[in-house]
Amino acid sequence: MTTEIIDQGPFFHGTKAQLKVGEELTPKYHSNFETGRISNYVYFTGTLEAAKWGAELAVGDGAERIYVVEPLGEFENDPNLTDKRFPGNPTRSFRSQKPLKIVAELATWERHSDEVINQMLANLEQLRKAGTAEILD
């Protein structure tokens, strides 16, 4: 982790978990994207587009939600996306071993179409089957 400020925010977290303003997202909890995995980090983004994908692709049956979050400690670029898939971190994707505080929930946002979401899910399934869906956590 670095002590330099790499992004000023605002920051978002997409999920299907129902949370309340003031609660904290913490590491060492179930991953949003891989059933049975306990994540060492909490992940978040500086773009609404990436947060939408986070909400839409999260495991579980709950409603898709996007929270505005405040990092409560140092954070770093998410190595699963930065320079590995999107050089320079245009998705503004980050992770932290410190909590994120929920400061608001977006009341409305425009989902991707079911067709686009299903195509992304199919692509991710192909990566899993090929053994290339590794998450560096």
- Does any domain span residue 2? no
pLDDT category at 58 given cuts 50, 70, 90 is: confident
Range of the domain at 67: 11-130
Q: What is the C-alpha to C-alpha distance for residues 85 and 73, in angstroms, rounded to an integer? A: 25
Q: Into how many domains does the chain fold?
A: 1
- Does any domain span residue 1? no
pLDDT given at position 4 = 60
- Does any domain span residue 3? no
Asked if 39 and 29 touch (Cβ cutoff 8 Å), the reply is yes
- What's the pTM value of the predicted model, to 2 decimals? 0.82
Q: Which residue has the higher pLDDT, 47 or 2?
A: 47
Q: Which residue has the higher pLDDT, 64 or 2?
A: 64
Does 81 have pLDDT greater than 90?
A: no
- Does any domain span residue 4? no
pLDDT category at 11 given cuts 50, 70, 90 is: very high
- Does any domain span residue 89? yes
Residue 83: how many CB atoms within 10 A of its CB?
Answer: 10
